[in-house]
Structure formats: C-alpha cells, structure tokens
A and B are shown apart, each in its own frame.
Chain A
Amino acid sequence: MVKAITCPSCGGPVTVKYAEQSLSCVCPACLAVLSTANESVSILVKSQLKNAKPIITLGQRYNFRGHDWDVIGYLVRSDKTETYKWSEYLLFNPYVGYRFLVCMDGHWNYVTKTKSAAKVDSILNRATYLDKTYTLFHKGQVKTLFVLGEFYWRVKANEVVMAFDYINPPEMLSLEQDADEEIWSIGEYVPKRDVEKAFKLVGKMPLDLGVAPNQPSPHNQDKTLATYVSSLIALVVLVHFGFLVAVPKRNIFEATYSVPLSTSPTITTAPFEISDKAGYIETELFAEVNNGWLETTVEAVEENTGEEYEFDQGVEYYSGYDSDGSWSEGSRTSDRRIAKLPAGKYHLNITTAWSYPSPSTFTFRVSEGNLSWGNFFFAFFLLILYPIYYFMRAKNFEKNRWSTSDYSPYWSQHDD
C-alpha cells in the first residue's frame, strides 16, 4: 500500500510504496532517514555525510530470475577503513519477499536471507549450511555510508556491524551481527550480462575488476580434463606396448667381413628379407679400431626393383694415457636408424674407408621391428602440455581470488 508522508526534516513529500512492510525510508529531497514504523514519522538520521547515485533506477520494476522485482532501496557500504566500497540494491516482490543485488568491483551477487543459521567451525574457519561447506574469506567491520529508498528495517547511515564472508563459488555465505541480532544470507554470483539485460543497464555497467571472492572459475573442468588426459595417455601406452608385443625386434642380417685392402674396397653382402613389419630398421656396425676409424657407405639395394637406399655409418675409437691416467673416446660400435623400407629382398653394397692401422674385420648387423621410445615420450610430452597450462591458469585464478583475503591458502602470496 502506497503511503504519502511529509518529511519532518525539510517538509518535502515522501512516498512510501510498501508502507506496511517498510520501517524506514529516505527523503529524496534532503536525504534524511525517517522512521515509518509508527503513525508519526520520526527522524532517524537528519543528514547523511555521503552521497551516491544508484545505477539501477529506484521505484522501477524489473524481471529477474523469473520474478518481477521492485527496486525499493539502495545502500552504499564499505569496510571499516572505507577502502573497499560496494552497492546493495533492495528488491521486493510481495509474493516472494526481499532480495539484495550486491555490486562490488563490477561483480554482482544475488543475495537471499537464509531460513536458519549456518553451523560455524571457528577452528577450521568454515561454515556449513544445507550440507554445503563454505570457507572463511573475510572478517571485519562493515559500515553503511549512504542509504536511499525504503527498507524493512530501521536503516541508519554510518551504522557499523561485524561481517563474516564464507565462500564456496559460486556462492557466498555471509553473517552480519551486532549486539542485537545475527543475520545470515546466501549470495550467488551473477554474470554481469544477466544483470545488464534484466535491469536495462547497457552502457552503465561498471568495469569488473580482479576476481570476485565467489566468482566461479572458468577453469572448472578439472575432472573432464583429467579423464581426457588419462584416456589419451592410456591410448598411447596401449599403442606403444601393442607394437612391442605384436612386432618384436628381429635380427634379419648379420655377417663379419675382412676389411678389404684393395683399391676397390666394396663388399656385396648375401641377400636378406625385409618384411612389412612396423618400426624402424636398425643397422649396427662393430670394428676393432684402435686409435683410428672405419667409415662405411652402405647402399641397401632392393633386388627386384633395383631401388637403392644409401646411408653412411662409421666407428672411431681413441685411447691413451696422460697425467690424469688412462683416457678413451669414441666407440667401436655404432648404430643407425632407418625408417621402414618397402618389404622385399635386399643386399648391401658396403664401401669402406679407414685410418691406418686398419682393423682386420668389421661386423654388420641389421634388425627390423624396432620401436622408438623417443616417440613415446614425445607424444606423452605433447599430451601433458595443455593440462599443465590449464592447471597453472586455474591456480593463478585462485591465487587472484584469494589475494584480497586474510585467510588465503596460498601462503606465499599471502606473505607477499
């Protein structure tokens, strides 16, 4: 029921839209806070020290979260030092009740009074409400700096209460207490576009700064990502060990030759078969070189097609004594990997070169069905790159969230 009263401070007209519910209101002309609890209107606060302009028009009706809401009150509140300030809009629907729309640093919360008190664990700094646990984020005095509109309680500018905020994103459980009462409320983080659309605030929205205490993390798909990562790694392991089991390594050629000392030092080997097996072909060379080297140029010739594949392979080995004792470098064996060759019958043309004194013999071995562990670990590395980035971003988001809290679990950040 709408009630018209006269401001006892300035004599101006004041309209109280919900006179039966409202216990106090503010004169729009002189900003005096008036008590409307009784028939006679009295002054609660004659003048307010601060002034502010709400971005949502008071007295207007908006549809939000499936209900029509009249915006009837506006408060500007702050911490004790007035460093952090925020706005609270009081919404009313006669069939639903009261709600608050709170805006701090451009982040919005839709707040409802709880029906019962939460259970507080002051040792673990937690509160439990409706089987949900919330972690303490902030504790401190809250001051009301400015009020406008009408309220269901005796609102006072410069009123100070003790406040506790517990979070479990996207929710925030809050307790406000003074000497007379304790009020619990639960807030839900609202995306700014929802508020912008519902309250017709296009072009008026404040910039959202930092991370709000109960802002849902955009990196909230940890479990899905963990499932994907573990499935993909399992797939790589399965493929790798599948190859190992299904295609075991097999020697297909091995022979020892005298090192030719003639002017035409090319050796043609006996033919051998290369199958269609998966994996790379490995060639191993062994020669008893001592303070010298042996180099080979190898042509693998497919006997039916005449196709040639050429590669070089060598060994070198040096040893001696100096003031530090014996030393050696190089190796008498070497191996080389060749990607899968077409299946067929091959022989090798091996041309040798050596340093004096030459080794008397060298051994050449060819195997197929070899699998690279380097590929396996590189695939593993590629698979975990994005999850590492994701979890670093997620942790950074949480660090930013807690950067304004005295109860941050990120101690290093907190200490800074």
Chain B
Amino acid sequence: MIKGYLVYGFLVVLIYSYISYMGISYYDFVSGKSFQPAGKTFQHK
C-alpha cells in the first residue's frame, strides 16, 4: 500500500510538472474559466 502511494505520488509530480509546463491550470477547471479555447482553433484563410 505504501509503495502504491509512492507510485501514485510520482505520477502526481509528473502530471503536475507536465501541466505546469503546458500552462494548463487547475484553477481554470475549478473556476470554470477556459484555459484555452479548445476546439476553436482553425486554419486562417
């Protein structure tokens, strides 16, 4: 169980590092703000 926690903890750190690098914010999910207009990207003509 304790070793399972260690694996879980490393995953948390990894995901945290990734979303921090990508500029994705937990706060935006909670506040309902959009961190990026997903699905609204399109090719400029």
B-side interface mostly: helix
Say whether B16 contacts A379, CB under 8 Å: yes
Q: Please tell me if A235 contacts chain B, counting CB pairs below 8 Å.
A: yes
Q: Is the CB of A221 within 8 A of B26?
A: no
Chain A residues whose CB sits within 8 angstroms of the CB of B16 once the complex forms: 236, 239, 375-376, 378-379
0/1 string, B5-45, CB within 8 A of A gives 1: 11011101101110111111111101001111100111111
Separation of A383 and B16 alpha carbons in the complex (Å): 11
- In angstroms, Cα B18 to Cα A240, docked, is 11
**Across the interface, which residues of A come within 8 angstroms of B10, CB to CB?**
232
A410, CB-defined interface residue at 8 Å: no
Q: Are B41 and A340 in contact (CB under 8 A)?
A: no
Identify which of A228, A309, A310 contacts B6 (C-beta below 8 A).
Answer: A228
Q: With contacts defined as CB atoms under 8 Å apart, how many contacts are there between chain A and chain B in the complex?
A: 113
Q: Is A279 an interface residue (CB 8 A)?
A: yes
B6 → A minimal CB distance (Å): 5
Give the total of A residues in contact with B, Cβ under 8 Å.
Answer: 40
A394 beta carbon closer than 8 Å to chain B: no
**Closest approach, in angstroms, between the C-beta of A117 and any C-beta of chain B?**
39
List of B residues within 8 angstroms of A94 by Cβ:
none
A308 and chain B: residue at smallest CB distance: B44
Q: Which of A225, A305, A339, A371 contacts B2 (CB 8 A)?
A: A225
Q: Chain A residue with minimal CB distance to B17?
A: A239
Query: B24 is contacted by which of A239, A280, A379, A387 (Cβ under 8 Å)?
Result: A280
Q: Kindly list chain B residues whose C-beta atoms are within 8 Å of the C-beta of A278.
A: 20-23
In the complex, whether A41 has a CB less than 8 A from a CB of chain B is: no
A311 contacts chain B at the CB level, 8 A cutoff: yes
- Answer yes or no: A301 CB below 8 A from chain B CBs: yes
Shortest CB-to-CB span from B22 to chain A, Å, is 5
Of A232, A235, A311, the residue contacting B37 (CB under 8 A) is A311
Is B24 within 8 A of A339, CB to CB? yes
Q: In the complex, what distance in Å separates the CA atom of A281 from the CA atom of B25?
A: 11
Residue numbers in B under 8 Å from A337 (CB-CB): 23, 25, 27-28, 33, 35
- Please report the C-alpha to C-alpha distance between residue A375 and residue B35 in the assembled complex, in whole angstroms: 13
Measured CB to CB, the nearest residue on chain B to A278 is B21
- Residue A338 lies at the interface, judged by CB distance under 8 Å to chain B: yes
Q: Which residues of B contact A225 (CB under 8 A)?
A: 2, 5
Name the interface residues of A275-291: CB closer than 8 Å to any CB of B: 278-281
Contact indicator A371/B45 (Cβ below 8 Å): no
Given contacts A337-B33, A375-B19, contact A310 B13 (CB under 8 A): no
Are B2 and A372 in contact, CB atoms less than 8 angstroms apart?
A: no
State whether A375 and B25 are in contact (beta carbons under 8 Å apart), knowing that A236-B13, A307-B44 are contacts in the complex: yes
Provided the pairs A221-B2, A228-B2, A311-B34 are in contact, do residues A239 and B20 lie with their beta carbons within 8 angstroms? yes
Measured CA separation A323–B16 after assembly (Å): 50
- Please, which residues of chain A bring their CB within 8 A of the CB of B2? 221, 224-225, 228
| Further contacts, 8 of them, CB under 8 A, given A279-B20, A338-B36 | A228-B2, A228-B9, A232-B9, A278-B23, A307-B42, A309-B41, A338-B37, A339-B23
Query: Which B residues form the contact surface with A (CB < 8 A)?
Result: 2, 5-6, 8-10, 12-13, 15-17, 19-28, 30, 33-37, 40-45
**CB pairs A–B below 8 angstroms (11 shown):** A236-B12, A239-B20, A243-B21, A307-B41, A308-B44, A311-B34, A338-B23, A340-B21, A375-B16, A379-B12, A386-B5
